Amino acid sequence: MKDDKGTFDVLASVEKHIEALKPLLPKQALVCIGEYPIKILLKETDRKEGTLPILIEKSSDEIYKWLPKGYATHFVLGFEDAHIDTHFWYNVLPTISKDNSVIESLKKKNVEKLHNAIIFSSVWDGIGSATLPTLIGKFKASNIDSLSIAVLPSKIQPADAHFNVCAALEMCLATDGATVLLMGRDQIENYEGVDRIGEVIKGNMLANYLLNLFLDKDSLVEEISELSRTFNTKLFTPLVVTGASYKIYGSLENMLNTALLKPLLMFDLSSSSLLYVLLRMPLDLKDKLPRGRIELAIANWFKEKTSLQSIYIAEPIYTEDTTDRIDAVLFVGGFDTNKMLVDLEQKVKPLKDHAVERGFMSEDWHVIAKTEEPKETEIPKNLELPKDMEEPKKMDEAQIVEGIQSVDSVLSSVEPKVTETLTTTDEPKNVAEPKPAVKPKRVRRTKKVETEKNLDEIKVNEEKEQKTPTT
């Protein structure tokens, strides 16, 4: 019995040790794409353990300059070695599509234990608009669920920024596994609220506050990804409650009314059909606000505003603090995006038409693959001669003709040689002599040829002359 008791104590000690080590294992990848999201993330150096920060921007050297002292990143990706123009999405897409360095870096950290990924990206430049949908697809191919936070440009930003956004949204809608939370830059910068201890949250501090909330909920990405797949809804937008005192507001409904006054995207709530709710509250409020009561209160609040197909209330995150402050994020999905996309397309139509005309993209927002045709080797017209070689003299047409004729006369005066074929032991000995390859020309006679008849006549005449007496 003594040995058994000792064995039990050892096992219990090992289990406790394993539990203590679990937070150290990588659970989530946090990917920030673009200068705007990266600098927001780096404002808060304390990050939840088990998170792997991945930073992507045009220049990796610039990213390292932004990093606070002691900040540990998992991976940094820049495009300076690609030597490409990064202004528009269609310039970047072919390069990032071929790049697998992000996924390969995660495989080194035992990707099987990696639960999911959160992507935080601006989409008004070429890097963000091309990389966001591409990484979503790469995570999906690696069986990693992802939740993307896409920050849309300000209204005062030029048309090229909205052109990149339009492309990013179209590609995300066409990408399997995409779950994208849309937020406007103007709405983020104008946000004012308080956190759980009553301190002011202003401007883009909100984005960091939401990131921490999302990372605290380990099952968030898995749950909302499943909801997105089930109802084929890829675009969401948040209604946010931060640091709301339950004593002051009195009810969840009053908190939601306040959240509706400062949405993070202009959208038509009445066309919404899907809802996922994430809450963080003190443990002391668990009995006052059980999960069932929360679900009924939220369903009742939405009843007069829209007809929802599904409401999912996640298990709240309970904290040990003694306040009564509640954080809530309502992921609203299924709203009509047609008007938003049509307005964007109208705004960027001149840029799109120009890109299509130049062959950079197709009408349905695809990059046209360019195949390089083999170039014909051109013979240079003017070659430089070595210094010790004289330049050939130029000849006119008459000289060329005269030269050709002289060559022909030389060739005609040369008798063709008769070549004999070699005989081998296997061939018959009596082999007809081969005919000359070229028939010799007949020589023209310049003098009259003397025949035998002419010689006889000459001889008779000489004998007559000898018989005739001289006078």
In this structure, what token pair is assigned to residue 146?
């992802």
Helix (H, G, I), strand (E, B) or coil at 358: coil
pLDDT of residue 469: 53
Integer Cα distance of 272 and 255 in angstroms: 19
Q: Please, which pLDDT band fits residue 44 given cuts at 50, 70 and 90?
A: confident
pLDDT at residue 84 tops 50: yes
Q: What is the predicted pLDDT for the residue at 12? A: 58
Side chain identity at residue 94, one-letter code = P
- Judged against a pLDDT cut of 50, whether residue 394 lies above it is answered with no
Give the pLDDT score at 389: 45
Averaged confidence pLDDT in the chain? 82
Let me know: does 236 contact 182? Beta carbons within 8 Å: yes
- CA–CA distance, 127 with 139 (Å, rounded to integer): 18
pLDDT band at 107 (very low <50, low <70, confident <90, very high): confident
Which residues have a Cβ under 8 Å from the Cβ of 138 and sit 6 or more positions away? 100, 102, 103
Between CA 160 and CA 166 the distance in angstroms is 10
Provide mean pLDDT across the span 27-40: 94
Query: Can you tell me the mean pLDDT for 61-67?
Result: 95
Cα(262)–Cα(184) distance, integer angstroms:
11
The model's pLDDT over 202-247, given as tens digits with 9 standing for 90+, comes to: 999 999 999 999 999 999 999 999 999 999 999 999 999 999 999 9
pLDDT digits (tens, 9 = 90+) for 146-163: 999 999 999 999 999 999
Instruction: Please give the DSSP secondary-structure letter assigned to residue 143.
Output: T
Whole-number pLDDT of residue 465: 57
Average pLDDT of span 414-443? 45
Give the ranges where 108-204 is alpha helix by DSSP (H): 126-141, 159-173, 185-189
pLDDT band at residue 111 under the 50/70/90 scheme: low
What Cα–Cα distance (Å) separates residue 17 from each residue in 20, 80, 112?
5, 45, 21
Whether pLDDT at 305 is above 80: yes
Nearest-angstrom CA–CA distance, 87 and 73? 26
CA distance 288 to 321: 16
Is 90:370 a contact under the CB 8 Å cutoff?
A: no
- In angstroms, what CA-CA distances link 163 with 169, 289, 360, 456? 10, 45, 13, 116
Place of tokens 């948040």: 238
419 pLDDT higher than 50: no
Quickly state the pLDDT bin for 27 (edges 50, 70, 90). Answer: confident
pLDDT tens profile 125-134: 999 999 999 9
Predicted local confidence at residue 248, as pLDDT: 95
Q: What is the DSSP letter of 109?
A: T
